[in-house]
Amino acid sequence: MVTRTVDLRSDTVTKPTEAMRAAMANAEVDDDVLSYDPSALRLETEMAKVTGKEAALFVPSGTMGNLVSVLVHCNIRGSEVILGNNSHIHIYENGGISTIGGVHPRTVKNNDDGTMDIDLIEAAIRDPRGEIVYPTTRLICLENTQAKELNDCITADRSCTLPNFELKKSGVNFTLIPSYARRAASATVDEYTDKVGELAKKHGLKLHIDGARIFNASIALGVPVHRLLQAADSASVCLSKGVGAPVGSVIVGSKSFIAKARILRKTLGGGMRQVGILCAAALVALHENVPKLGDDHKKAKMLAEGLNQIKGLRLNVAAVETNIIFFDVVEGAKITAEKLCKNLEQHGILVMQESLVRIRVVLHHQISESDVQYTLSCFKQALAGRVQEENGN
């Protein structure tokens, strides 16, 4: 009988903490469609501050956040967006930019670190003189972290300082206060995001960043969130992944961008009334969990190092920068990836199979170091052709 569950399928599986539930029960609310919900306004104000943008808007999901953002920038059907071939918008969002927005995706190959070559991005921009036959390029989309393959972080400038996010509590208001500590690494990395932003401006385009796990990227790189998003005209930030809120994302940008986004959110069915119940939980999640993201990364590295010692698995430990690990079940192992996942599930270890050979695991704030050790024990037994009879603690 399963007596212990270690859910590593995603960081979206976390349950609301008692503090979140209390905040939800006591949240100040009003009609957010009419822009009167005080808890929503509070969350949006704080997210605008921490991302360095003029305004923010709560949306039900990251998929809607990205869709709304693309549609604001590409407000004419037949527009084209340049994005990575492994990007979440391109692969995992039901083709919404095309089916709903009439926006054509033009993909550029993602490198192993999640970037796209600048020269390939520029080469993909349509020549306006060919508008009689070409769609019109209006937008470039980046993703940080890029989660399809390695969950790598795209940097702005690693010589920046590391934000340890603390929140000052004043009544029911939480204010994100970044306190900075110098990162040990001395090397300055090319300002990739800035270069893409400059390229966009050169050609009269907009830049959107899918920052679903931007807080993870910030902690891993030692770069403040606002610096990572500085070159972007808009960004989406997920609240229900590493941050650990039960529901929602926030999109950020200029006041005029958010005004247009608010209308599109309503058009797509994302306008909700007393949404402060959800926003109150998100504020607590920011307060409780952003400071813990570094611990999630350490646990991921610990798990990766342990998995790397198990015969039959192949992974690149150095590529584990945040809370996500990808690894392969090698040819010749005593078990297939599918069978391995099923065996682990019988013992309370939940992971996600990505392909015939690839498995993904994601760490989060509700996974302990004890859970990591138990997981490694189950992996070792499964790869050795044995399964644990007891699902003990």
Which pLDDT tens digit goes with each residue over 243-289? 999 999 999 999 999 999 999 999 999 999 999 999 999 999 999 99
Domain with CATH 3.90.1150.10 in the chain: 292-383
> What would the pLDDT profile of 333-379 be if each residue is shown by its tens digit?
989 999 999 999 999 999 999 999 999 999 999 999 999 999 999 99
The pLDDT mean for the chain works out to: 90
pLDDT exceeds cutoff 50 at 172: no
SS3 string of the chain?
CCCCCEECCCHHHCCCCHHHHHHHHCCCCCCCCCCCCHHHHHHHHHHHHHHCCCEEEEECCHHHHHHHHHHHHCCCCCEEEEEECCCHHHHCCCCHHHHCCCCEEEEECCCCCCCCCHHHHHHHCCCHHHCCCCCEEEEEEEECCECCCCCECCCCCCCCCEEEEEEEEECCEEEEEEEEECCCCCCCCCCHHHHHHHHHHHCCCEEEEECCCHHHHHHHHCCCHHHHCCCCCEEEEECCCCCCCCCCEEEEECHHHHHHHHHHHHHCCCCCCCCHHHHHHHHHHHHHHHHHHHHHHHHHHHHHHHHCCCCCEECCHHHCCCCEEEEEECCCCCCCHHHHHHHHHHCCEECEECCCCEEEEECCCCCCHHHHHHHHHHHHHHHCCCCCCCCCC
pTM: 0.89
Give 167's pLDDT tier (boundaries 50, 70, 90): very low
Instruction: Provide mean pLDDT across the span 161-173.
Output: 40
CATH architecture of structural domain 16-291:
3-Layer(aba) Sandwich (3.40)
Question: What's the CATH class of domain 292-383?
Answer: alpha beta
Domain with CATH 3.40.640.10 in the chain: 16-291
Give 191's pLDDT tier (boundaries 50, 70, 90): confident
pLDDT at 31: 98
